[in-house]
Structures are given as structure tokens and as C-alpha cells.
Structure 1
Amino acid sequence: MAQRSPPLLLTLLLCTLSVNSSFQPALVLEMAQILLENYCFPENLVGMQEAIQQAINSGEILQISDKKTLAAVLTVGVQGALNDPRLTVSYEPNFTPVVPQMLPSLPIEQLIWLVRNSVKLDILNNNVGYLRIDRIIGEETAAKLGSLLRDNIWDKVAQTSSLILDLRYSTAGELSGVPFIISYFSDSESLIHIDTVYDRPSNTTRELWTMPSITGEKYGKKKDLIILTSKRTVGAAEAVAYTLKNLKRAIIVGERSAGGSVKVQKIRIAQSEFYITVPVARSVSPITGQSWEVNGVSPMVNVIAKEAVAKAKSLLVVRSTIPKVIQSISDIIKRYYAFTDRIPALLQLLQSTDLFSVVSEEDLAVRLNHDLQTVSEDPRLIVKYMQDDAATGEEDLYNIQDDMKLLRELVDTTFKVEILPHNTGYLRFDKFVKLSAEAKLEELMANMVWEPLKDTNNLIIDLRYNTGGSSTSLALILSYLQDPSQKHHFFTIYDSPSYGSKRGVYVLTSYYTASVGEEFAYLVQSLHCGTVIGEITSGTLMHSKTFQIEGTDIAIIVPFINFLDNNGEFWLGGGVVPDAIVLAEDARHILNGYGTMYISSQKETNLLLIGSNLKSTYLLSYQNQ
């Protein structure tokens, strides 16, 4: 609660006040004295009485004859001075104090009736417990009804798989009952300091701790607990919700609670018919250093009160999938992730990550993605919420049978071949095709694509619109750019022409170039077998598989191949920076205009492809002549 300077504000207030003959200035001083002796924030009152006396003695007070108006003006003043909306002054000539009923003194039959009318227990589908408590009974009453509460409520609740604790209608209760409820939803490993209550009239402080043992079986802290609140939830129920929320034991669903007080008293000002309502005790949580008073408990999931039960049920469904999601992601990483040395740390993270406040599948995906990328330092390892996206475990590639007619149509529609001025070959393909089981597709590519280009002086490979495809054809196309004397190839070329490295090879890129397309550009640079011209590529990740977690809209994308370049560094799939950066639309025009370009740096390079889930490891060596 923000603090203001009471002397100045009360001085300004009282300078606007005056009283008729029936209301003496001494009454204002009496009000100040009540605050000094009873207000639960006495540190905010320093200098107030002196300021009031000074204002009265100044003679600047105006006449206010109507007593209710005076009470309203005093209320505005004292609330503004102390920034506390609970402080009110009222004029009540017929006020009759209400003495609160002491529950422990009631006959046992009345206590049983009260509990049965303020507590409701149901067991919902999937063994979800629903417990509605409209009044939190105090420690003495709970002790008196111990066996009844244990047998009819708490032991039945303990057998449920998860629990919805409904406090939306809890408008009464005693703070001394809070430790029992907190203890029921915690373990007995160590006691927890849950609240500190300061009482101003007695100037005493009382600490509330969890109990070392309770009658009956504890619910513990492992099963899901959702607490429902509304704007009517007040007092001890707020203390329960606030504490369990900040202990990370319960998810709060519903509306912000009322923001009540530990204890408020209406005190008569001297012998007049004016009363001042004062909060005489305050709560301070040792967990947060703050309180649920005045501001209330804010929910973690905001819904109107009448929709809270339905929201809680759907949330429990999400929560129930978390262990399965964690296990599935762990298994996928263990089986497929290419950085095998990082797997133990990732598995440990998944088992220890704090998912207490996860309230949706999207929320779960965001948190897991952040944690996994932080530990792995690999932007390709992605957990994402798919919902409307179709996630599959295989790449969306061309995959046709070995039908020669269909294969010929595939090559014809995929590859565009031209001979440009200055005997410059031009090859554009927007997708890397998936190789068939046999060699028919490679033979067709050799005859239909590479044979027309083999005698050109230079070759332009246009990848400006290439968005990826299958990496199986990548090595094949690279092989055509090598010398026939090359010792190591990914594939055997069946009587195919070889373009070699003595002529200029220029690869055009744009920010559309993605996945296997940018991998090709990267290899051309790394192997020094061509010049990359155009825009920085998209940085789309490649050599990854997408796995959707069964029964959810969560998927994990796992890289199963890593690249180690000739400098011994891993390439994690970031955008490829061209050797010559120009706008993509100008790249081909520049080449046509200037004719021959050549690579000035030629040296032996090696590229090692490491795949943790591959049957073979290949070493591709390229020797420039």
C-alpha cells in the first residue's frame, strides 16, 4: 500500500471543515486518537495529531452544518491522507453493534449443520474432486469436528486425482483455519511460515505456520489443485488462495477477489453519533512481503465467475497431458537429436523444469521451447504449438514410384534449363527432388539437365525461389560440379557429364531461399566450387524432423544432422551470406551484363556430415586444381 504524508493531507482536509455548536473540534482530535491507537499501520500516522490541532487553532475552518455531509467529507479526507479505502467515517444515530457469534461455543449439532451447509463435495469425471467451501472454520471448531471432517470430507478428497477448490462464495471465515488447509495441500518435510498477523490494539504479532501433522491423510503437493475465486471471495478464503498461489501449489482461476481485511472494527468517536471504521490488524506474507488485503488475489486465468468451473475442467485436461508431453519429448530427443553430447543436460532439464503455472498447451510449448533452446544453444531445436498446422514426422517432398513417364514429367517441371548469351548455362529449380529407390531419376537428370549444360563456359544456378525439398538430391547435384578425378562422392554418377571446377559457377540466392536450398549455397561456399550472389538466405532450419505429440497440438522439431565445416565449426542453419550481396532481382542481370566471373580463392576443403541417427557417416573431400 502506497504511503502518503498524513500531516499535510489532514491539515488540508481540516482547513475545509468546520462544525456547528453540536460538533466540537475536540471530536476531530478524538478521531485522530482512535486511529493512533487502533489503525494497523501506525507508522503512517506520525505527526497527524499535531497537524489536526494546528488546523483547528488556525481559525480557517468553514461551517458544515449537515452531519452526514461532514462524515462524507471526513471519509474522503482520511482515505486520501492514508491511501486506505477501508477507513470510513459515518453518522449513525441509531447504530446497534453486532456481536459476532463464537462458533466453538455452539452445540455440536449446530456446528454440524453449519458445516454441511457451507461445504459441498463431489467426485467428477476422471476422478476429479470438486470441493466448495463457503466458510473457512477456525482451529477450535475444526478440532471439535475433527472426525466428522476427516471421514466425510478430507479422506474422500485425498482419493481424487486432482481437485477443484471452489472459494467463489466464501464470504466468511477465520484466519486460524488457514494453516490446516495449507498443511493439507503440502508435505510434512518441513514447516512453512505462511503468514504474519499484526494486531494494533494489542500491539502483538502472531505467526501462522503449517502444521507438522493433521488428522487423516494429506493431499500432498504433487496432484493438481485449482482454486476458483470471484469478486465475492473475501477474508480467510483470500488468505488460502494467496498463500497456495505464491507457494506455487495452486492455479487460481476466476475473478480478482474482494480484497478484504484480517480484522476491521467500527469504533464510536467519543460519545457522539459518529463512527469510524478502522482496519485494526494486517497480514504480511513472508513469501511475498505483501498481502491480499485491499488489492485482493489476482487469478492466473481470468474468466467470469460463472465460467470458472468449466475452465478449471479444461485446464485439468491440459495439465494431465504434461507428464506425457515431457516423456515424449525426452524420448524423441534421446533418439534423434544430432548433438548427442547435449542430450543428458536436455533430459535433466525436462525432468526438473518448473511447469507449475502452465495453463494451456500453447503456454507449455512456449516454456519448453525457451528452456530447451537456452540449454542446447541450438535454434533448430524447436517446440511449437501447432493447432491448425499439420505436423508430420516426414518432410513434404516429391516421392513417386519409378514410373519413367512420371519421373520424366517430374524432371521437366522441376528443372528449367537455358543457354544464355556468352554461352552461359542457366539452371533454375525451386525444389530439391527426392531421389527414388533406384537410379532412374539420376539418369534422367543427367540426360535432361546436365547434358545440355556440360559445354557452357559458365553456369548460373538460380536458387532465388528454392524453398527446400529433399537433401537426398543435394549431394548428387554437388557431384556434377566436381572434377571427374574426384575421389570421394556421395553418389555414383551413371555415365553423366561433370561440369568440373575450372569454369565459373554462380549460385543466385534471395531471402526466399530456404532449407536445403540454403544448405546447397552454404556447401558451394564451403567447398569453394562456386560464387554465391544475391541476398542473404532465409535462415530456415533444415535436416530436421517434425514430431507431433500424440493427443496434443504440440510438436517438436529435431535436427538429426549437423554440419561441421572446414574450420571445425558447426553450422546451425543461419542465413547464408552471399559472396556478392545484391538485390535478388538484379543478380541474374549483373551476371549477364558482365559475363565471366571467377573464384579467386581455391584450396582443398573438407566437409564432414555428422548424423546421430544415420546408418553411415560420409566424408566429402574436394580438391581444386
Structure 2
Amino acid sequence: MTTVTQHLSVASVIEATAQLVEEHYVFPEPAGRLAALLRLRLADGAYDVEEPADLARVVTTDLQSLNGDLHLRLKHHGQPVPAERGAAVLAAMREEFDTSLGGVPRLELLAGGVALLELAPALFPLPWSAEPLGAALTLAAPADALILDLRANTGGDPDAVAFVCGHLLDRSTHLNSMYWRDGERLEQSWSPAHVPGARFGGDKPLYVLTSGRTFSAGEELAYDLQQLGRAVVVGETTSGGAHPREGWTVHTHLEATIPVGRAVNPVSGTNWEGTGVHPDVPCAASDALDRAHALALARLDGGTAEPHTRTANAAEAPPS
């Protein structure tokens, strides 16, 4: 049985994790408090465990005890973790990409000219996913209405979020701003002015399905479209993880994942961290598809539009 002490002592894992949190966590003041907590708990014997999975569980509980940041954790990997920064998550995502048709496991034309497009289990890095995403969105473009299923989407690449939004809007639009800890530099995310293939466009009915599992970049896609007034979100409140994170290997089977930035939406002036994305039409995730399909059919049949959480527009570039 593999143990922490066979490769790296518990004390070394905790000290490495504490230093990484101090140096990189997006909020410096909580970073210092969390690092001190890890060292105190180590001295108290709270981490006297043998298995990497047990250490990951206990340390993650402590890391999330201050502000509930779900991206901040010590993550256990069953297979050995590559030493390169960020390599662990990419290796795991690549396996998921190769077994999920590139993150587009379902595209279906429902009754009444309504297309259903599921994006799961993640929005994979755009260099991998642009082709399957573009192909699926182009096939869905002629539909009279579109249901975007994010109920099983647990995160991914913000560039893929912008790429998808580019197919669902008519022009380049400011989606999000990212502030990084290193000097508080600002980085803006805009949907692309041009996309490969056909656009579904910015006018036809669009519904986004969510669940309590929807997380991170999956939440961003739902939140961005909701705040723009572009989509009606149907389902459950999402998990509530808005901070982009990076990963550092601290043991053969352990990765310290640490948020290094914070998102600010140009419409709301905030994000979904800790609160999740609240649906416009709340219902159980298992009922969300039927509910959205019924709403789409009613809308196409001339019914009234559903309420949006926000209807204000963010900054837009001139039409291309």
C-alpha cells in the first residue's frame, strides 16, 4: 500500500502546501491565516495519517474552512502526478476529453425544432476542443431554439467559454475580467468577433440547464449568458466556484490546487463565488430538460418571454 512516508513526509507536504498558499493564493490576508492554520494543525497531530487520500481529505477541509473556496484544496490522484506545474490536471482532462467526444457527448434535435447540446464533463482547453465545439455549434445553428445542457459540466478553460459564447452572440462582447494576485493585473475576456462555421446568433431562444454539480468554467458560461440577458437558466443553483486555479505537485499522488485570480463580471460587478449561479427558472436538475423544452416550445408558439435575472448589456464591440 502506498503511503505518504514512502516518498515524502507529511511535514514536507504540509510545509510545501503552506508556502504555495502564502505565495500564490489570490487573497493575501487569508493566505497567511491558512498557512498558519496548516502549520498549527500539523503541530497538533491532525495530519498523522498514512495514506495520501486521507491527508488530502483532512487538509482540504482545513483549507476550505476559512472562506469556503472550493478551488482551494489538496487533491489526491490515484495515478502518480507529473512534476510539472499544472500537468496533473491536464493529464486527467486529456483522458476525459478522449472519452467524451471532445466534451460534446450529446447533440440532438428535439420536437418543435429545438436543439439540445450537452457540454460535459468539461470545457476542455481550446486547442483541443475548438474543432468538436465548433462542429457541434455549427450543426445546432439552424435550430429555432437551443438548450445548452451544463448539468454535468465541472469546469475547464475560460477561452472555451468565450468560444462558445461567440456562437451565441452576434458580436464581440465583454464577458469577464480577471484580476490576478501578482500585481493585480487585469485581463479581459471577450467573445470572438468571428467564429468558424455558422452562428446560432444572439436573438433566438436560448436555455441553459444547471445542477448543483455545475462548477467553475461551466458556471461561468451560464453566468455570462445570464448576466447578458442572453439565456434563461433552468435547474438548480450551481456549486459556486469562480476563482481560476493552478496546480503544484507536492507529492507523488498529491496536487495543491490554489486559486490565483478572481473574476469580475462587467454587468454584475461581481461573480458567482460562494453563491453559485441562481437559475431564472428553479427546478430539480432531473426536470430541467423537460421544463426548458416546454418553455422553448411555448416561446416559439408565441408565448411570453421568460424572466431574466439581468437584461442589461455589457460592453459590446461594433458589429463586424
TM-score (norm 1): 0.39
Among 232, 241, 244, the alignment partner of 1:262 is 244
Find the aligned partners of 1:235 and 1:306 in 2 and give their Cα distance: 21
Report what 1:162 is aligned to: 145
Relative to structure 1, the CA distance from residue 103 to residue 80 in structure 2 (aligned partners, 3 Å threshold; closer, same or farther) is: closer
Take 1:32 and 1:103, find their aligned partners in 2: how far apart are those partners? 24
**Aligned counterpart, 2:125:** 138
Kept in 2, the 8 Å contact 1:64–1:70? The answer is no
Which position in structure 2 is the counterpart of 1:194? Answer: 175
Summarize the alignment of residues 336-347 of structure 1 with structure 2, pairs less than 5 Å apart.
none
* 1: CA distance, partners of 2:186 / 2:248: 21
Tell me how far 1:246 sits from its aligned partner.
0.6
Would you say the 8 A contact 2:81–2:249 is kept in 1?
no
Instruction: Provide the rounded CA distance (Å) in 2 between the counterparts of 1:258 and 1:238.
Output: 8
Q: 1:208 aligns with which of 169, 189, 197?
A: 189
Structure 1 pair 179–85 and aligned structure 2 pair: CA distance change class (3 A): closer
Displacement of 1:114 in angstroms is 4.6
Matched, 1:185 2:168: yes
* Alignment map for 1:84-483 (pairs within 5 Å): 84-88=69-73, 96-97=80-81, 99-101=88-90, 114-115=100-101, 118-134=104-120, 135-143=122-130, 145=131, 150=134, 152-188=135-171, 191-200=172-181, 205-260=186-241, 261-265=243-247, 268=250, 276-322=256-302, 357=307
Task: Note the alpha carbon deviations across 1:278-300, whole angstroms, 9 max, x for none.
Answer: 32343222222222344322211
Residues 96/201 of structure 1: CA separation in 2 closer, same or farther (3 Å cut): farther
Residues 265 and 280, structure 1, Cα contact 8 Å, conserved in 2:
no
Aligned pairs for 1:20-59 (under 5 A) are 31-45=17-31
* Secondary structure in 2 matching 1:140: helix
Q: Distance in 2 between matches of 1:62 and 1:115?
A: 47
Cα distance in 2 between the residues matched to 1:304 and 1:105:
31
C-alpha change, 1:179 and 1:103, in structure 2 (3 Å) is farther
Instruction: Report the residue type matching 2:227 in the other structure.
Output: N
Q: CA RMSD in A?
A: 4.3
Shift of 1:83: 4.9
What CA distance in whole angstroms lies between the structure 2 residues aligned with 1:105 and 1:161? 33
Equivalent position amino acid for 1:234 in 2: F
Instruction: Give the TM-score normalised by structure 2.
Output: 0.71
8 Å contact kept, 2:93–2:124: no
Shift of 1:86: 4.4
Structure 2 counterparts to residues 437-586 of structure 1, below 5 A: none
Q: Give the 3-state SS of the residue equivalent to 2:80 in structure 1.
A: coil
CA distance in 1, matches of 2:147, 2:33: 49
- SS of 1:181's equivalent? helix
Partners of 1:136 and 1:172 within 8 A in 2:
yes
Q: Describe the SS at the equivalent of 2:112.
A: helix
Write the deviation string for residues 398-450 of structure 1: whole angstroms up to 9, x where unpaired.
xxxxxxxxxxxxxxxxxxxxxxxxxxxxxxxxxxxxxxxxxxxxxxxxxxxxx
Between the aligned partners of 2:17 and 2:165, the Cα distance in structure 1 is 39
User: Contact 1:248–1:357 at 8 Å: present in 2 too?
Assistant: no
Report the Cα distance in structure 2 between the residues aligned to 1:169 and 1:105, rounded to whole angstroms: 17
Q: Structure 1 residues 112 and 197, CA, compared in 2 at 3 Å: closer, same or farther? A: same
In our comparison, the structure showing a higher alpha carbon Rg is: 1
1:251-279 C-alpha deviation (Å, 9 max, x unpaired) = 111112223453253553xx899975432
Say which SS state the counterpart of residue 171 (structure 1) adopts: coil
Question: What CA distance in whole angstroms lies between the structure 2 residues aligned with 1:117 and 1:71?
Answer: 28
Separation in 1, partners of 2:145, 2:169: 14
Are 2:34 and 2:66, in contact at CA under 8 Å, matched by a contact in 1? no
Give the drift of 1:34: 2.1
Per the TM alignment, residue 306 of structure 1 is displaced from its structure 2 partner at its CA by: 1.6
CA contact (8 A) 2:175 2:189 kept: yes
Post-superposition offset of 1:23? 7.7
* Percentage of matched positions with identical amino acids: 27
Kept after mapping to 2: 8 A contact 1:165/1:227 = yes
Matched residue type, 2:245: K
Answer whether contact 2:235 2:282 (CA < 8 A) is retained.
Answer: yes
Letter in 2 for 1:181: V
* Unmatched tracts of structure 2, length 5 or more: 1-8, 83-87, 310-320
Inter-partner Cα distance in structure 1 for 2:99 and 2:17: 42
**Cα contact 1:169–1:232 (8 A) shared by 2:** yes
**Distance in structure 2 (CA, Å) of the matches to 1:101 and 1:89:** 16
Q: 1:87 to 1:140 in 2, by over 3 A?
A: closer
Q: Which has the higher contact order (CA 8 A, sep 6+)?
A: 2
1:213-262 per-residue CA deviation (whole Å, 9 max, x = no partner) reads 11122222211101111122223221111100111100111112223453
Q: Distance in 1 between matches of 2:236 and 2:298?
A: 21
- Structure 1 residue runs of 5 or longer lacking an equivalent are 1-21, 326-354, 360-625
Which amino acid counterpart does residue 184 of structure 1 have in structure 2? H
Quick one: structure 1 residues 65 and 164, their matched pair in 2 at CA, closer, same or farther if it must change by over 3 Å? closer
> What do the CA deviations read for 1:335-375 (whole angstroms, capped 9, x no partner)?
xxxxxxxxxxxxxxxxxxxx56269xxxxxxxxxxxxxxxx
Counterparts in 2 of 1:200 and 1:157: CA distance versus 1, 3 Å? same
